[in-house]
Chain A
């Protein structure tokens, strides 16, 4: 499933972020020890609306509101990086969800996520990783995510990914003032949250120039070689050891006096 965000329609009313807090029972207005340069995601804000001021090509100033949350990558780096399967892809909805009981708190997912989405509970004694979980419970019941349901302007649309991509391209084709780009269609193997905009994405804080292959490709390429290399290396060492053993046996000379620390480790 997927969500299409039409940035031209967002009026910055914050209904979505309020809905997210209500649905996920996240606290409001807690003082945080970690200061942030601008309004951004944190352990209580799984989604935020960032206000961006852009100077248009005609010299006019525009204000755009950009909703930020987990993009729910099709091939999520965070889930691939999690060594205890605490972050994982929900098989029914393909949402990227978190199982706190399994998390160790290594924060490798935060290093791995290319969009810097997962946030940590820095002020808790036993902190958890937090991020938007696509309201997975609602999706399973066939509902749209809380934020999408709350959006009064239709800036957020929930549906099948392929259908939404087709729709995005239709919108772009029909309205020349849109940038001809669907953010999330190809980025790092594709994401389930898609964006269209009338202002250049790079000016709105989007990370551009990302590859089309998911980052986990590199990990898989490496990890799939490891067992063979390890086995080959082990056989080689065993062979060496056997060879030395035989050679020592075949030498007629009495064995040399052993020195201390004679190399048996």
Chain B
């Protein structure tokens, strides 16, 4: 059945499932379609035409953004799960389901990004049988695979509310175990992503290399997780008029903020211990980007969140965006600024197209899922400009 709406806003209900079309979604769909073509070309022709990767710069945008940032930003699922499931801060439970969904989508996209980035994609399963256990990447690969499976199973709590209802009780029974296992693996691979760079010590700019790299990646994924939950609930509020008590949001981000203080302290100690203050204020491109990362992504947000500014209308939101941007910059810096000579690599338009397309898939999937399952609050949601135009839904 088709419900007539003026302009581009349409909602199709096919066999009881809602599919909403908005102008933004049309754009997203086009981006995804373009990405599909690029991805197919990439798989068929290799890296030659699609990427700007070279022997000097073997890892590019797909690894740094789609994989490293993707996994970090998808940390919202485990950090919320840790607070709610592990430490029983029940009040944060209101965001648990949407955090879980974003994480799940995030990890699926990370897997897609990785798949496009590996050269011999028909061989992607080799590490499952040929164990290079001395490699940090081996651990990352296994943990991410297992964790994505667990996230999918956990999300069946939501799915079985609507489909395959007879499975619901079993999923509920399995949940406590899934939650615990689902808290072990993300901690392992979040830190191991930092561990990937341990072996590249002699190639990295010293400010980004430290034996504590795994710990840094772990901690930053934790605090960026709560910031992401905040960003995401803001987007949900704009589109679905789904409000989360700002007080709870503030408390949740402050938990992240406290962890961030630990991060800052560790970094300060580390720089002092390794005697790198000279490098920090060296004035080179590397040191400036380091300062940008630390001041813009850590110091300023910390100031906002622990000062009265946090109670202003956009305080928490600005904090969250800054933290997200800071962590993205950190991951990019670890690959590009720390390891490559400046000017050696800039992503090609096609590489951007794939990264943007993957994010678009995430947005579309998020929309379709929250409109059809109980993720935000107690009901399925509908975009509010559609609610305004029709009272059918």
Q: B-contacting residues of A (Cβ < 8 Å)?
A: 33-34, 36, 40-42, 77, 79-86, 101-108, 110-112, 114, 116, 119-128, 188, 207, 210-211, 215-216, 218-223, 226, 230, 233-234, 237-238, 240-241, 244, 259-265
Contacts and interface: CB of A to CB of B under 8 A. Distances in A.
Contact of B192 (A207, A210, A226): A226
B81 interface: yes
6 nearest A-B pairs in the assembled complex, by CB-CB distance = A105-B119, A263-B93, A263-B84, A83-B138, A105-B120, A218-B198
A20 to B, nearest CB: 18
16 contacts: A84-B123, A84-B127, A86-B130, A103-B126, A104-B118, A104-B124, A116-B55, A126-B119, A220-B134, A233-B187, A259-B90, A260-B94, A261-B93, A261-B94, A263-B96, A265-B154
B85 interface: yes
A114 B154 CA distance: 42
Given A83-B135, A240-B86, A261-B377, 4 more contacts: A41-B55, A85-B131, A121-B46, A265-B99
A188 B203 CA distance: 13
A33 B45 CA distance: 13
Dominant secondary structure of chain B at its interface with chain A: helix
A110 B47 CA distance: 16
B46 A262 contact: no
A84 B96 contact: no
B202 interface: yes
A120 B53 CA distance: 10
Contacts of A125: 44-46
B234 to A, nearest CB: 17
B257 to A, nearest CB: 21
Given A260-B374, A265-B154, A226 B188 contact: yes
Contacts of B230: none
Contacts of B181: 234
B92 interface: yes
Nearest to A207: B202
A265 B55 contact: no
Contact of A126 (B122, B131, B200): B122
A59 B151 CA distance: 67
Interface of B: 44-48, 53-56, 58-59, 77, 80-81, 84-90, 92-100, 117-124, 126-127, 130-132, 134-139, 141, 154, 157, 172, 175-176, 179-184, 187-188, 192, 195-196, 198-203, 211, 214, 339, 374-375, 377-378
B46 A223 contact: no
B61 to A, nearest CB: 14
B187 to A, nearest CB: 6
Nearest to B171: A264
Contact of B179 (A122, A123, A264): A264
Given A105-B123, A114-B202, A233-B184, A219 B132 contact: no
A107 B119 contact: yes
B48 A123 contact: yes
Contacts, number: 218
Dominant secondary structure of chain A at its interface with chain B: loop
Nearest to B122: A126
Contacts of A216: 134, 199
Nearest to B197: A111
B55 A34 contact: yes
A104 B114 CA distance: 11
A105 B98 CA distance: 34
Contacts of B157: 264
A222 B194 CA distance: 11
Contacts of A265: 77, 80-81, 84-85, 96-97, 99-100, 154, 175, 179, 182
Nearest to A115: B202
A156 to B, nearest CB: 24
A83 B128 CA distance: 9
Nearest to A105: B119
A251 to B, nearest CB: 13
Nearest to A218: B198
B138 to A, nearest CB: 4
Contacts of A223: 134, 136, 139, 195
A248 B193 CA distance: 37
A38 to B, nearest CB: 12
A101 B183 CA distance: 35
A81 B133 CA distance: 9
A83 B199 contact: no
A233 B119 CA distance: 35
A116 to B, nearest CB: 7
Contacts of A188: 202
Contact of B200 (A40, A41, A215): A215
B96 A122 contact: no
A219 B199 contact: yes
A163 B277 CA distance: 44
Contacts of A233: 183-184, 187
B202 A83 contact: no
Nearest to B57: A110
Contact of A114 (B80, B187, B203, B378): B203
A77 B47 CA distance: 25
A54 B378 CA distance: 75
